[in-house]
Structure 1
């Protein structure tokens, strides 16, 4: 009887087992707890508190003023132009950035190391210097006879310049770590190069492409320095959101500037979430 009762007892249902399982998952050592606390305080000081302050400033005049600022025709035109140009730049970067990363990883050619260094120049240059570089080449005194100042093409070019490295640098390490044996196995089974890329390589690259694209998009909608000299800041034509914020601050309208900033923040967060969902779905289907 005793042996049968013991044998029939469910395995792994002891009280001590439950305690050990939950405690092992959630327990923090003193060192881990201290590190987590420092990280949360540091993150709050640098990110959460300033964001809360901006949101509070945007509602200083009430929700009605917040809505009126964003629905103003001139402000709305600046926001629309900013988002459209940033989306176009993100699409171009997603494609060409992946191509550049592929060339740098998979191909061997003279000057490869130089190109690999040059790609990071937009990261190193102050954005106002980037604007001056573009103005020197594509301004009124352009040596190539092209003037893109005070045009949407100029805005597009400036945003492309400052966001160039993002997709390249997120895709490149993934390509380096990609197992070549999987591609060889697909080829040995009769898969074409296009099929191998679509079914084997691309699913691995999509999360990196999405990460780089979201970073590039967030940088594009908030870009200021390179656009000061290029855009011309003409209302309803080439005025972008960052320059609109600057105008609000010059006019001592901090609430209006904060309202535009909050909307840009929301757009950036939505874009990051959307790209993350797309990358997860594409990776599962792959």
Structure 2
């Protein structure tokens, strides 16, 4: 028997070292089924309970539902784009610059994770509502929705970009600078391709959080149908009106939109990673 044969680990040993085995897979599958799949199945069943496919289509194409979905998706896309730009800028400053209070600012980024979202809505209403101490009144407008959702989704982009930015090879940037490349060229040709998967991931998570958000917009948004009523508020309205099937139908539509966006972003991110590696 050769030395290579003796030193090669058995398949069972490889599985034990690199995975948790069938029991672990079974536990994970059971847990995901209980926490995710069963609620989704129940929600989907409820969505089609009143008239089947026809009832589902009627529910999601009702004027109020269409307006709420349009506002929600539009505002969420704007919020995701804003956070991709400013979240990247914040991550860049936190990684590349040293300044007094940097640790405090870095900790402040996570505040929206800890703060109850309805408290954020109350604070924003006190700042930008009818009695604004700043003299800026934007409550019950779509800019107020954008402001509230930008606040609660900012950490997703910053925390997605930071670790990637830390790992970016500075030697390549310095080499490009020594060859005469300006800062814009270095960023768009060297740094941005490396950051693109993280930007897509963070932007996708920000969009997913914004599209289902309720607490941060409940006070400052105004809940005006056709103007500032988001899908989560429309869903609550349908539940209070004892039309749970319509609420479930809109919920399933939101889930489908979010899944489709995240799936497409994952494909683009995977292709970007492949290009960077090659």
Q: Do both share a fold (TM > 0.5)?
A: yes
Alignment pair present for 1:270 and 2:260: yes
Deviates more, 1:156-165 or 1:185-194: 185-194
Measure, in 1, the Cα distance between the counterparts of 2:193 and 2:23. Answer: 38
Cα gap change, 1:31 to 1:201, in 2 (>3 Å): closer
Asked if 1:45 corresponds to 2:34, the answer is: yes
Q: Deviations over 1:163-204 (max 9, x none)?
A: 111100100011112222222233334433222222221111
Distance in 2 (CA, whole Å) between partners of 1:143 and 1:54 is: 44
* Aligned position for 1:124: 114
Q: Alpha-carbon deviation of 1:31? A: 4.8
Residue 109 of structure 1 pairs with residue 63 of structure 2: no
Distance 2:222 2:88 in 1: 32
Q: Distance in 2 between matches of 1:277 and 1:193?
A: 29
Partner of 2:60: 70
Number of residue-to-residue matches in the alignment: 266
**1:238 paired residue among 228, 245, 249:** 228
Q: What is the correspondence of 1:1-286 to structure 2 with a 5 Å cutoff?
A: 24=11, 31-61=20-50, 62-284=52-274
Residue by residue over 1:60-107, the C-alpha shift from the partner in whole angstroms, topping out at 9 and shown as x without a partner, is 011111100111111101110000000001111111110110000001
Unaligned runs of 5+ in 1: 1-16
Q: Distance in 2 between matches of 1:155 and 1:96?
A: 17
Query: What displacement does 1:118 show?
Result: 1.1
Partners in 1 of 2:253 and 2:265 — Cα distance? Answer: 18
**Superposed displacement of residue 250, structure 1:** 0.6
Work out which of the two has the higher radius of gyration on C-alpha atoms and give 1 or 2: 1
Cα distance between partner residues in 1 of 2:75 and 2:139: 15
Distance 1:284 1:191 in 2: 25
Equivalents in 2 of 1:79, 1:165: separation in Å? 24
Q: 1: distance between equivalents of 2:20 and 2:44?
A: 34
CA shift at 1:28, angstroms?
Answer: 5.1
Distance 1:197 1:111 in 2: 26
Q: What RMSD over aligned residues (CA atoms) do the two structures have, in Å?
A: 2.1
Q: What do the CA deviations read for 1:6-60 (whole angstroms, capped 9, x no partner)?
A: xxxxxxxxxxx9xx9xx949x9559521111111111111111111111111000
1:130 alignment partner, SS class: helix
Q: Structure 2: how far apart are the matches of 1:282 and 1:40?
A: 30
